[in-house]
Structures are given as structure tokens and as C-alpha cells.
Amino acid sequence: MDSLSLETLAVHAGRDDLKDLGVHAPPIDLSTTYPFTDLDLAVESLDALVEGEASAANAIYARLHNSTVARFENGLAALEGVESAVAFASGMAALAACLLAARWDGKNHVVCVRPIYASTDRLISTGYLGMNVTWTDAKGIFDAIQEDTALVVMETPVNPTIELQDIEMAVDAAGKVPLCVDSTFASPVLQRPARHGATLVMHSATKYIGGHGDVLAGVVACSEEWAKRLREVRVFTGAVLHPMAAYLLHRGLTTLPLRVLRSQETACSLASSLAAHPEIERVYYPDADNGDPHGLVGRQMLGPGPMLSFSVRNGFEAANRVMGRLKIITPAVSLGSVDTLIQHPAGLSQRVVSEETRAAGGVSDGLLRLSVGLESPKDLWRDLERALG
């Protein structure tokens, strides 16, 4: 399926077995256990699955394998242009699995590029997973690498300032150390980090991949060698994706290119309208003067994306007033849904890190983050304009 365009892959990938099954929509397998008739075959299957094999003659137990989940994983891997993908119960579970899988050969140090999504920052800085961390900006990766560095972690575009980080530069600086890129804000429609040398491509699939605000999930796209390690971590930590959620994510893939490109178009138009509004202090949307000094739009990312942030004059109070006056746009955390959401990062998503970390990452009290949905750009602008007063 390599030569097919993304739109075609989005509709067809991960569905190869449907014809033989005689069905049009992927079946949802809800079994938690799988009867066996031959103990030798069951033993062989269990051995294979706990070692992280993608499938076996008998699925044994739902924490080891599920065919509905595997179909979604195959679809996502095709969109990212890699061999495999491994799905998890949430984006944070996917990230935790990447960190655990990277520790395989006893290495215990991680280099993490700030700013990064606040819960990722907190997970890594608390040391819950027993790893030591060196925090750096993208320019400092090379100097931060140690003998025992297992993984470099970075996010692009960055939540919530929509700053772009150069993946190829990070891969060069990391040398032999694998790079994990959180590509949630871009989705595989706008950015395929593996093409630029990233080893692990992680998504909160709760966002664009699910796309309708009704699924919590995470996924990592990578080589089959890494997928085996990730599956083994998943088997023994148990952060599996529910098959019903996998079905919805697989269905979400079919419209992913349409949704992301349309939202991006609307975000572009809102970014320019906001930039001209007198109540706006600054718009955060990648262009040469803002968030994209290396010209990554076009080279690394297909466009500036469907997420934008802006800061209003008079900080928290003004931000609160704007959100309270909106009629169409919903004040809520999360992103990537069909409807437009607005949130206050300093008060909500970024609150789980210290005030200093927030400030260093450019998260001010007047900052609002907009996840642009599929409504008419005219209606969205009218809603925003009225709320800004």
C-alpha cells in the first residue's frame, strides 16, 4: 500500500481481512478470553504474545492481543509510513510505555526538550518511572546526551504555544539515541516524523485521530522491533485500548485528512482576523516571525496546523470574560474534535507544572488556546469577535 496517497490509505488501511471475513465494517471483538482446543498451540501462542509478537494462532487473553485493536494499529502505521503501531488506553499511557520500553538495556536517563505538554513534563520530572532526566531546549540536545541516555523526548508543534521543533536537527543531535516525537497536534496528515528520522512517533489519539471527543486513547508508530518491546510493556502494565475505542479510532482515520485540512484552513483565517483585532496582544500560529524560525512549515509540516493560541490584554480576567461570552465555541480542555474548543492553559492543562515552568514555556495568564473545528469560519469569527468586545 506504500504508493497510495494518504486519503486512500486513511479509508482502506487496516481493512485487508474484511473481504475474507465477508464483512464491510471491521468486527468488534469484545472477548476477554479465547477458548483453545490444543494446549500445545495455546502455549506457543502465549509465549509469542508475551514476547511482543503482533499475533498468534490463539489470542489467549485480551491483555495480550485483540484483533479490532490490531486493525486500527495497522491503519495508523500505514498513515505514518512505518512498519507497526501499538495502541494504548491514553496518550499518557503511550508515552509511559515509550519511556519504559526505551529502558530495555538498562539505560536510565532521558533527555527531554522543554517546553512540552505539562502532564508529560510532570510524568518525567517526578521520576515516577525511575528515570533521571536532563531538561534542555532543542539546541542543547547534543550536550545533554550521556552514556546511559535511553531516549530523547520532544513534541512538535508544542502545546500550547504552537512552536515548531526541528525533528531532523534533533535526530542529528541525538546521534545513536532514539528520538520520540509527540506529534499529536499535527496528526499524520500534516507531519510524519519517522520520515525525518524519529524512532517513535507518539499521539494522544484522543485528539485528531479519534476526532469526535468520545474516545480516550494513545498510539505509538514505529519499527516492528520497537513495537515488540512496546507490546511486551503493554502486556505487563495492562494499559490496553478497549476494542470499542479501537473501532471508533479506526473509523476516525477515514475522515482524518478531511477534518485536519479543513480545520487548518479555518485556523489560518481565524489567525489573521485575530492578529488584526485591537484586544489581542499576540497570536501564536506558526510563521517565519512566530514559532517557525527554521521554516518548517512546508519542509516538515504540510501547513501551520489546526491549533492556534492567542493572548488577550489584561490577562486572566479578560481571558475568563472572553470564554464566558462565547456562544458557539465551547470552553473545555482537550482538542482535535469536530467542534471548536477553547481553553485557558495557565489555569487548566498547564497547571500541573510549576509557575516557573509555565512562564519559561511562554504560558501567560492571558493565553487562550483554540482547537479549531469544522464549523463555518464566518460563524466562528463572529463568535470570537463578539466575545472580544
Ligand X SMILES: Cc1ncc(COP(=O)(O)O)c(C=O)c1O
Q: Residues 342, 368: contact at Cβ < 8 Å?
A: yes
Residue 184 in contact with ligand X, rule: CB under 6 A = yes
Smallest distance from ligand X to CB 283, Å: 20
Smallest distance from ligand X to CB 184, Å: 4
CA distance 202 to 120: 12
Residue nearest to ligand X (CB): 91
Binder of ligand X out of 216, 248, 301, 384 (CB under 6 A)? 216
Measured CA distances, 164 to 26, 213, 289 (Å): 36, 25, 12
Binder of ligand X out of 68, 206, 364, 371 (CB under 6 A)? 206
- Tell me the DSSP string of 355-374: HHHHHHTT--TTEEEEE--S
Binder of ligand X out of 29, 73, 121, 155 (CB under 6 A)? 155
Q: Residues 191, 181: contact at Cβ < 8 Å?
A: no
Nearer to ligand X by Cβ, of 177 and 249: the residue is: 249
CA distance 241 to 350: 26
Nearer to ligand X by Cβ, of 144 and 153: the residue is: 153
Binder of ligand X out of 72, 117, 135, 226 (CB under 6 A)? 117
Grid cell listed for 174:
541525538
Nearer to ligand X by Cβ, of 91 and 304: the residue is: 91
How many residues are given for the chain? 389
Nearer to ligand X by Cβ, of 153 and 283: the residue is: 153
DSSP code of residue 193 = G
Nearer to ligand X by Cβ, of 223 and 334: the residue is: 334
Smallest distance from ligand X to CB 135, Å: 17
Smallest distance from ligand X to CB 289, Å: 24
Measured CA distances, 349 to 40, 120, 200, 353, 369 (Å): 50, 11, 24, 9, 10
Longest Cα separation, the chain: 73
128 exposed, middle or buried (CB, 10 Å; 0-12, 13-18, 19+)?
exposed
Grid cell listed for 154:
520532544
Site residue total, ligand X (CB under 6 A): 13
Binder of ligand X out of 73, 80, 182, 365 (CB under 6 A)? 182
Smallest distance from ligand X to CB 111, Å: 18
Query: Which residues ranging from 51 to 110 are in contact with ligand X (CB under 6 A)?
Result: 90-92
Nearer to ligand X by Cβ, of 52 and 218: the residue is: 218
- Tell me the DSSP string of 307-337: EEEEEETTHHHHHHHHHHH-SSSEE-S---S
Nearer to ligand X by Cβ, of 58 and 165: the residue is: 165
Nearer to ligand X by Cβ, of 59 and 91: the residue is: 91
Smallest distance from ligand X to CB 152, Å: 16
Smallest distance from ligand X to CB 129, Å: 15
Smallest distance from ligand X to CB 77, Å: 19
Residue 149 in contact with ligand X, rule: CB under 6 A = no
The helix/strand/coil state of 184 is coil
Nearer to ligand X by Cβ, of 155 and 163: the residue is: 155
The helix/strand/coil state of 123 is helix
Nearer to ligand X by Cβ, of 92 and 220: the residue is: 92
Smallest distance from ligand X to CB 356, Å: 21
Measured CA distances, 256 to 28, 208, 244, 289, 297 (Å): 21, 7, 18, 29, 19
Angle at 155 between CA 302 and CA 121, to 5 degrees: 160
Smallest distance from ligand X to CB 201, Å: 12
Draw the binding track, 354-383, toward ligand X (x: CB under 6 A; -: no contact). Answer: ------------------------------
User: Phi and psi dihedrals of 180, rounded to 5?
Assistant: -105, 125
Interface ranges with ligand X (CB under 6 A): 90-92, 117, 119, 155, 159, 182, 184, 204, 206, 216, 218
